[in-house]
Amino acid sequence: MMQPIRFLDLRKQYESIKTDIDAAIAETLESCQFVGGPAVARFEREFADYQRARHCLGVANGTDAVEIALSALRLPPGSEVIVPANSFIASSEAVTTAGLKVVFCAADSDTSLIDLVDARKRITPQTRAIMPVHLYGQSCDMDAVMAFAHEFELKVMEDCAQAHGAEWNGRRVGTFGDAGTFSFYPGKNLGAYGDGGAIVSNDDTLVRRMRMIANHGRVEKYNHEFEGRNSRLDALQAAILSAKLKHLEGWIAARQAVAAFYSRELSNVKGLQLPLVRDAARHVFHLFVVRTPRRDALQLHLKASGIETGIHYPIALPRLTAYQGLHQSTSSDAVADQLLSLPMGEHLGVADVGRVVHEVRAFFQA
């Protein structure tokens, strides 16, 4: 049997940057500053610069990032937030934990990104915010989202957990709306060696409030202006992220090369729908998600050939048990049964992607 083709290979990545990572960890241990301190401040500055945002606040994980950013908006309790049905549960979960109400809308069938035609049907007098999720690494059409938000006077919370470095018309995600939230979960394009997250924003007042919420409602040590919580990016993760950030553009280029190869070699396969990339989008390909009604059989065929795949996401959010009580559904909920994520990442070699293409073609020709 040939070597398996991994969906994700964190060991291979670590081995390629081991010297940098080990030095960053050793330096943090020597400094004995484990919460806050220079490593966190440095990464916050570097990541704000990378996303071309005025501010960045490190937090404990990407889910907290969404919840803290939403809380900082101080929307009236029970305000409705529109969230696309195709996302990870964190997007909608954070709406609920922030004391707000989730309203699901459909995802566009070509891009899997928020469908504003459907979102329009979900507007009520209680709608106060919309959450474009830059899913799979592609920016939503932020011109359209901002125009929509302006029309209905909505706050815009960008979930950028899968889209570090992604752009719309040359502008980085997270800088269009009120704030943009990121995850550094290990498998993300920029991943920590544990949990981590960040919020970027150009709004000084909002950032000050978010910083306080994430740190017990304080700016100074014991002067708590309100009850907040504890959600901080720790110094070890910040040091690791600074070391990895230097490689991110190279890794994105490698992902884009894999995507270009898949797109070219699989373009004429009947029965297989490839991801659509909008001209204005810089897609960073966190995932390469194809669609086929024969998804389960294709996944089994690839597995038998030693090729790992994933499904993002197998159950549309409104169909999850967690949301049965909401009695909501969208026209795109059934599409979840057709999605398949092919191996994607800088760990893949030319021979690997060649084998994936060969096996996908073989499946559809059989």
Ligand X SMILES: *Cc1c(COP(=O)(O)O)cnc(C)c1O
Q: With respect to ligand X, which residue has the nearer C-beta, 39 or 68? A: 68
Tokens linked to 290: 């194809």
User: Least separation, in Å, of the C-beta of 64 and ligand X?
Assistant: 7
Q: With respect to ligand X, which residue has the nearer C-beta, 100 or 133? A: 133
- The torsion defined by the Cα of 116, 118, 124 and 129, in degrees rounded to 10, comes to -40
Residues 100 and 80 sit within 8 Å (Cβ to Cβ) = yes
User: Least separation, in Å, of the C-beta of 353 and ligand X?
Assistant: 23
Q: With respect to ligand X, which residue has the nearer C-beta, 111 or 183? A: 183
Can you say how many angstroms the Cα of residue 278 is from the centroid of all Cα atoms in its chain? 18
Q: With respect to ligand X, which residue has the nearer C-beta, 175 or 183? A: 183
- Residue 218 bridge partners (DSSP): 224
User: Least separation, in Å, of the C-beta of 62 and ligand X?
Assistant: 2
User: Least separation, in Å, of the C-beta of 73 and ligand X?
Assistant: 17
Q: With respect to ligand X, which residue has the nearer C-beta, 180 or 197? A: 197
Tokens linked to 118: 């459907």
Tokens linked to 246: 């230097």
Tokens linked to 138: 């592609």
Q: With respect to ligand X, which residue has the nearer C-beta, 108 or 159? A: 159
**Residues with Cβ within 8 Å of residue 91, at least 6 apart in sequence:** 66, 83, 84, 131, 133, 159, 317
Give the ranges where 266-324 is alpha helix by DSSP (H): 295-304
User: Least separation, in Å, of the C-beta of 185 and ligand X?
Assistant: 4
User: Least separation, in Å, of the C-beta of 148 and ligand X?
Assistant: 20
User: Least separation, in Å, of the C-beta of 69 and ligand X?
Assistant: 12
Can you say how many angstroms the Cα of residue 202 is from the centroid of all Cα atoms in its chain? 20
Q: Is 28 helix (H, G, I), strand (E, B) or coil?
A: helix
User: Least separation, in Å, of the C-beta of 110 and ligand X?
Assistant: 19
Closest CA to 261 of 156, 352, 131: 352
End-to-end CA distance of the chain: 21
Closest residue to ligand X using C-beta atoms: 62
User: Least separation, in Å, of the C-beta of 136 and ligand X?
Assistant: 9
Distance CA 119, CA 137 (A): 21
Q: At what angle do helices 350-365 and 295-304 cross, to 10 degrees?
A: 130
- The torsion defined by the Cα of 335, 338, 343 and 346, in degrees rounded to 10, comes to -20
Binding site for ligand X (CB under 6 A): 61-63, 87-88, 90-91, 133, 159, 161-162, 183, 185, 195, 197
Q: With respect to ligand X, which residue has the nearer C-beta, 73 or 353? A: 73
Give the ranges where the chain is alpha helix by DSSP (H): 10-31, 38-51, 62-72, 89-97, 116-121, 142-152, 204-213, 235-265, 295-304, 350-365
Q: With respect to ligand X, which residue has the nearer C-beta, 114 or 235? A: 114
Q: With respect to ligand X, which residue has the nearer C-beta, 233 or 235? A: 233
Can you say how many angstroms the Cα of residue 259 is from the centroid of all Cα atoms in its chain? 18
